C-alpha cells in the first residue's frame, strides 16, 4: 500500500493536506530514509512517525459533513456502482485530493457516498484539470485488489486529447525518462536521462487541417503529467496546457482555453476473472470543441484503435 494511504487509514481525522505536509517536510522515515507519499510500504519495514497531531483513536472514520451542493455534485458524477466499486466521471478543475490552495476537493466529498458502509477509498488519481474515469473502492479488500491492479499495470487506460498541430507520425509510441523538478513556477516534469521510464502508445483519430488533432492515448506507465509531457515533447501539446506547451498551447477562435485531456475509458480486472470496461462522456468544453471541429464523439475510437 502507498504510504499516504496507509497513514490515512490510521489517522482518519487528519486532513489529507496536513498529512501530505508531514510527509513532504521529511517528518516520516522508512528504514531511516526520508519517505515520499508514493513510497510503497511492506511488512518488516520500520516507520518513524512524528507525534500524532491528534490523540483520538483511529478505530472509526470521522464522518465529514458534506454540503448539499457537493453531495449533488459527486452524485452527478457517478457512472457505475456495484457492491464493491464506484466509478466516477471526474469533472475538470476539481482536485482529487487537497493541498495548498485546494480547500475543495473530491476526497473531501467522499463521505457523501458512504451510506451505511465504509468510506470509499481512492485507488488512483487524475490531475486537477483532467476529466474522466476515476474508480473508488467501497471497502478495504477491494481497495487492495485495485491498488495492486494499478501497480502491476493490469488495468488499461484510454485517454482522449486535442492537440495543437498534428503529430508527424500518425500512430506510434513515445518513450521518455522523466523526473519532477522544482522551479520558479512550481514543480514540473522534465525529460531527464536519470529519470523514471515512461511509455505511451498513441494514434490520431481525426484532424482539422494541420491546426489540431484528436489523439487517443494508451499509457502503459503512470507518471505525473506523463501524457502532457509526451505530447509536448513531440511538438503537439495538449490544447490548454500552458505548463508544458507555453503560449503555443492555445488555438484561436472559439476553442476553449481549458485543458483538453480526458480519461475516456478504463478496463479493470476484478476478482473471479471478471473484466469491466467503463466509458466517460466528454466534459462540456471538450464536447463543444469536438462539435466546433466536426469531430464525432460517438465515433468508434475506443481501445480497438490500438489493435
Q: Which residues of 251-268 are buried (b: 16+ CB within 10 A; e: fewer)?
A: beeebbebbbbbbbbbeb
Cα-trace Rg, the chain: 20
Q: Spell out, as residue ranges, where the chain has pLDDT lower than 70.
A: 12-13, 52-64, 99-101, 185
Distance between CA 188 and CA 156 in Å, rounded? 25
| pLDDT given at position 256 | 97
3-48, CATH topology level: 3.10.290
* Residues 38-85 pLDDT 10s: 898 888 888 888 876 544 444 444 556 789 999 999 999 999 999 999
CATH number of 68-151: 3.30.2350.10
* Residues 230-253 pLDDT 10s: 999 999 999 999 999 999 999 988
Q: Give the three-class secondary structure for 292.
A: helix
Q: Give the three-class secondary structure for 71.
A: helix
Q: Is 127 a catalytic residue?
A: yes
CATH architecture for the domain at 156-306: 2-Layer Sandwich (3.30)
| pLDDT given at position 117 | 80
Distance between CA 6 and CA 23 in Å, rounded? 12
> In 77-225, where does DSSP find H-type helix?
140-151
Q: From the candidates 4, 70, 72, 127, which is the catalytic residue?
A: 127
Matching fold, domains 3-48 and 156-306: no
Task: Name the residue ranges covered by the structural domains of the chain.
Answer: 3-48, 68-151, 156-306
Specify whether the backbone of 78 is left (phi greater than 0), alpha (psi in -120 to 50) or beta. Answer: beta
User: 112, 66 in Cβ contact below 8 A?
Assistant: yes
Amino acid at each position: 500500500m502507498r504510504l499516504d494511504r496507509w497513514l490515512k487509514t490510521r489517522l482518519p481525522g487528519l486532513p489529507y493536506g496536513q498529512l501530505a505536509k508531514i510527509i513532504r517536510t521529511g517528518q516520516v522515515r522508512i528504514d531511516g530514509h526520508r519517505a515520499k507519499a508514493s513510497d510503497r510500504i511492506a511488512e518488516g519495514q520500520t516507520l518513524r512517525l512524528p507525534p500524532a497531531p491528534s490523540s483520538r483513536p483511529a478505530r472509526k472514520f470521522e464522518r465529514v459533513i458534506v454540503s448539499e451542493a457537493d453531495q449533488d455534485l459527486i452524485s452527478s458524477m457517478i457512472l457505475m456502482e456495484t457492491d464493491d466499486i464506484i466509478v466516477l466521471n471526474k469533472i475538470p478543475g476539481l482536485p482529487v485530493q487537497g493541498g495548498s490552495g485546494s480547500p475543495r476537493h473530491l476526497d473531501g466529498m467522499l463521505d457523501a457516498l458512504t451510506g451505511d458502509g465504509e468510506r470509499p477509498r481512492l485507488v488512483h488519481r487524475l490531475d486537477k484539470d483532467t476529466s474522466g474515469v476515476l474508480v473508488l473502492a467501497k471497502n478495504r479488500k477491494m481497495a487492495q485488489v485495485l491498488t495492486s491492479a494499478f501497480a502491476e499495470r493490469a488495468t488499461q487506460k484510454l485517454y482522449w486529447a486535442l492537440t495543437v498541430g498534428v503529430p508527424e507520425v500518425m500512430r506510434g509510441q513515445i518513450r521518455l525518462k522523466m523526473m519532477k523538478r522544482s522551479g520558479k513556477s512550481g514543480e514540473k516534469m522534465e525529460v531527464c536521462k536519470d529519470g523514471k521510464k515512461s511509455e505511451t502508445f498513441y494514434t490520431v483519430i481525426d484532424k482539422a487541417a494541420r491546426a489540431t488533432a484528436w489523439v487517443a492515448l494508451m499509457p502503459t506507465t503512470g507518471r505525473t503529467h506523463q501524457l502532457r509531457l509526451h505530447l509536448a515533447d513531440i511538438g503537439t501539446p495538449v490544447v490548454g496546457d500552458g505548463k508544458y506547451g507555453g503560449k503555443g498551447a492555445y488555438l484561436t477562435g472559439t476553442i476553449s482555453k481549458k485543458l483538453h485531456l480526458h480519461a475516456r475509458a478504463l478496463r479493470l480486472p476484478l476478482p473471479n476473472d471478471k473484466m469491466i470496461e467503463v466509458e466517460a462522456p466528454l466534459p462540456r468544453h471538450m464536447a463543444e470543441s469536438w462539435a466546433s471541429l466536426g469531430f464525432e464523439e460517438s465515433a468508434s475510437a475506443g481501445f480497438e484503435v490500438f489493435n
